[in-house]
């Protein structure tokens, strides 16, 4: 893409956002997924205060008019309740206001893709928090699985860990690889989202586009089953423990 095209505010673009981790990620790209701009900041659990202003700032810096957006991509988790609720609500609100298709991409899928792009082929296993003690394990092409506190992931031959938001609850090398994956999340989300929008131009059914939670707000409880991993807004499947 030429520099002149990059500076043209009339060019078509897609917007991607992810709020499943403590690092909020937004990106704008061409309809084919080529990145045009991205931003990442430590939102903690203040996504609601920072997401929309930063989206507006990014679009302005990339000289992208909202009227030229052709689709929205949103990360669906697994992740904590507060961030995912804000991210999905924002994506749906923008899609409704601008009459745009929106597609959901599992954050775990995008992080595993980012690890392959920026760390190496793997195979990778993603480890994320699910409350104060529990964790969740994600592999490419498999449902996420709940890992109770005190248990370590059972790695298969050749697998290596990438760890997100786990501080002292994961090996240092896994945390470093996780940090690299998060830095590549914007580009991976754009690429995966652009492919989905090409395959499904009308986007996802908004009523069925729901986040995959690993923690619920304090005071909300649902049963835990042996093989369940997370809680969705539409169909509770298991409860994360601890605080959001």
- Rounded CA separation 129/168 (Å): 11
From first to last of its 244 residues, the chain has per-residue pLDDT tens of 444 445 555 789 999 999 999 999 999 999 999 999 999 999 876 777 889 999 999 999 999 999 999 999 999 999 988 889 999 999 999 999 999 999 999 999 999 999 999 999 889 999 999 988 899 999 999 999 999 989 999 999 999 999 999 998 899 999 999 999 999 999 999 999 999 999 999 999 988 899 998 864 444 444 433 333 444 433 333 333 333 4
pLDDT at residue 9, as a whole number: 55
pLDDT at residue 49, as a whole number: 83
> Which two structure tokens, joined as six digits, stand for 233?
């807004």
Q: What is the pTM of this model?
A: 0.85
User: 238 with 78: CB under 8 angstroms?
Assistant: no
User: 117 with 109: CB under 8 angstroms?
Assistant: no
pLDDT at residue 121, as a whole number: 86
Q: Where are the domains of the chain?
A: 3-106+198-206
Q: Strands 135-138 and 23-29, how do they pair?
A: unpaired
pLDDT at residue 189, as a whole number: 98
Which residue has 């729901």 as its token pair?
210
Sheet strand arrangement including 102-105: 35-42, 23-29, 13-18, 69-75, 102-105
B/e letters for 53-62, b = 16+ CB within 10 Å, e = fewer, are ebbeebbeeb
pLDDT at residue 41, as a whole number: 94
Question: The domain 3-106+198-206: what is its CATH number?
Answer: 3.30.420.40
| The dihedral formed by the CA atoms of 177, 180, 182 and 185, expressed in degrees to the nearest 10 | -120
pLDDT at residue 17, as a whole number: 97
């Amino acid at each position: 893409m030429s520099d002149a095209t990059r500076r043209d505010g009339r060019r078509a673009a897609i917007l991607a956002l992810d709020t499943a981790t403590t690092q909020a990620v937004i990106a704008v790209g061409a309809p084919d997924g080529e990145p045009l701009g991205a931003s990442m900041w430590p939102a903690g659990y203040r996504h609601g205060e920072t997401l929309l202003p930063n989206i507006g700032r990014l679009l302005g810096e990339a000289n992208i008019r909202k009227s030229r957006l052709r689709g929205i991509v949103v990360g669906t988790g697994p992740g904590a309740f507060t961030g995912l609720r804000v991210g999905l609500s924002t994506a749906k609100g923008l899609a409704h206001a601008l009459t745009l298709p929106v597609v959901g991409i599992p954050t775990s899928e995008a992080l595993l893709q980012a690890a392959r792009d920026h760390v190496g082929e793997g195979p990778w296993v993603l480890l994320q928090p699910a409350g104060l003690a529990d964790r969740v394990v994600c592999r490419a092409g498999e449902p996420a699985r709940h890992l109770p506190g005190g248990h370590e992931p059972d790695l298969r031959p050749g697998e290596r860990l990438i760890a997100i938001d786990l501080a002292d609850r994961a090996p240092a090398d896994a945390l470093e690889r996780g940090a690299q994956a998060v830095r590549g999340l914007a580009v991976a989300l754009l690429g995966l989202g652009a492919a989905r929008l090409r395959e499904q131009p009308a986007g996802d059914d908004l009523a069925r586009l729901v986040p995959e939670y690993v923690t619920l707000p304090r005071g909300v409880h649902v049963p835990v089953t042996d093989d369940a991993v997370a809680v969705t807004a539409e169909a509770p499947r298991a409860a994360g423990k601890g605080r959001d």
